[in-house]
A and B are shown apart, each in its own frame.
Chain A
């Protein structure tokens, strides 16, 4: 079956540091890939997505590129802010049905001033 593996956290960075959160996946077909963010006490918000190989998703300074050859979708940001502190989830869905997604276990990011 499908699966998503994220780098284990937590991750603690200083403000303006570079962020990378690794994500690799296993899927039978050609899935769509997503990054979600969850702030304390809230539901998940879509951060960015990519639907085919070599697509780059981007939003709010975050980027991730769909790498089919390495089955990866690593999240990056050049300069993190304290407000980026949250839990980040990588996810995939088959057949363009985002409502049947498989999620990783999440990576907690804390950014210190």
Chain B
């Protein structure tokens, strides 16, 4: 059991709406990454947060934004939802650099459906 939790488990929205997904990391994991996994594909890196600042971003438009809080939990916000945003959204956390043995731990994901 990884200890990374995500909420909600499932979500249905309509095109144009906004959504917020949440991720709680394990104790001491100060880095969180978000990935989008479309059906039948591998996860794609959206962005990473470290010490409440964005620390790298993949090829996603600005309507994908995030936050990291002092307790290292995180949110992913998506504005102006499009049908292609339907996917499993995964967060993954890491221990501080030098202690993480280059490993990340995934949560179970949030399944977003956009109608």
Q: Do A and B come from one complex?
A: yes
Contacts from A to B (Cβ < 8 Å): 4, 32, 36, 41-46, 49, 51, 89, 91, 93, 96-106
B33 at the interface (CB under 8 A from A): yes
* Residue pair A103, B106 in contact (C-beta under 8 Å): no
| A-B contact list, 15 entries, CB within 8 Å | A36-B106, A41-B108, A43-B4, A43-B109, A44-B90, A44-B92, A44-B106, A51-B102, A97-B48, A98-B94, A98-B102, A99-B104, A100-B45, A103-B35, A103-B43
Picked from B2, B42, B103, B105, the residue with its CB within 8 Å of the CB of A89 is: B42
Bound-state Cα–Cα, A1 to B71, Å: 33
Bound-state Cα–Cα, A89 to B42, Å: 7
Bound-state Cα–Cα, A55 to B49, Å: 30
Binary interface encoding of chain B residues 39-72 relative to chain A, with 1 for a CB under 8 A from any of its CBs, else 0: 0111111001000000010100000000000000
* Residue pair B42, A106 in contact (C-beta under 8 Å): yes
* Residue pair B90, A99 in contact (C-beta under 8 Å): no
* Residue pair B48, A44 in contact (C-beta under 8 Å): no
* Residue pair B108, A102 in contact (C-beta under 8 Å): no
* Residue pair B102, A96 in contact (C-beta under 8 Å): yes
Q: Size class of B's contact patch? A: 20 to 34
Most buried by B among A32, A51, A96, A98: A98
**Closest approach, in angstroms, between the C-beta of A35 and any C-beta of chain B?**
12
* Residue pair A100, B33 in contact (C-beta under 8 Å): yes
* Residue pair B103, A43 in contact (C-beta under 8 Å): no
Considering the complex, give the chain B residue whose CB is closest to the CB of A108: B40
* Residue pair B102, A42 in contact (C-beta under 8 Å): no
Considering the complex, give the chain B residue whose CB is closest to the CB of A99: B33
Q: Which residues in A have their C-beta under 8 angstroms from that of B108?
A: 41-43
Most buried by B among A44, A49, A89, A103: A44
* Residue pair B42, A103 in contact (C-beta under 8 Å): yes
Q: Which residues in A have their C-beta under 8 angstroms from that of B58?
A: 100
